[in-house]
Amino acid sequence: MSPKITRKVIQEFQEEAAGEQYLLSKREQEIVREIEKGLSYKEIAERFNISPHTVHTHIKRIYEKLQARDRQEALVKARKKGII
């Protein structure tokens, strides 16, 4: 394979990986919407019949996928990505 074609193939894979980083599961999207409403972990847990610990785990994953450090940054990035 020529270097030009190799670069093109690598670039395609990198773009796909970058796009997949921001894909949130349906539940994660629901939780982001509830966070946007200002609900606490406990309130979100009650709404979805899950434990607050599970909510915390989802939020941790959301932060990782959006590369965010806190709620505010996660909400800003989610809005920019069209998630909410």
Q: What is the pLDDT of residue 1?
A: 72
Tokens encoding 82:
């069209």
Q: Which long-range contacts (CB under 8 A, 24 or more apart) does 52-57 make?
A: 55/31
Q: What is the pLDDT of residue 7?
A: 80
Helix (H) / strand (E) containing 26: helix 26-36
- Biggest alpha carbon distance in the chain? 57
> In this predicted model, what pLDDT tens digit does every residue of 25-79 receive, in sequence order?
999 999 999 999 999 999 999 999 999 999 999 999 999 999 999 999 999 998 9
Q: Is the pLDDT of residue 12 over 80?
A: no
Q: What is the pLDDT of residue 15?
A: 59
Domains and CATH numbers, the chain: 3-80 (3.40.50.2300)
Sign of the Cα torsion 55, 60, 66, 70 reads positive
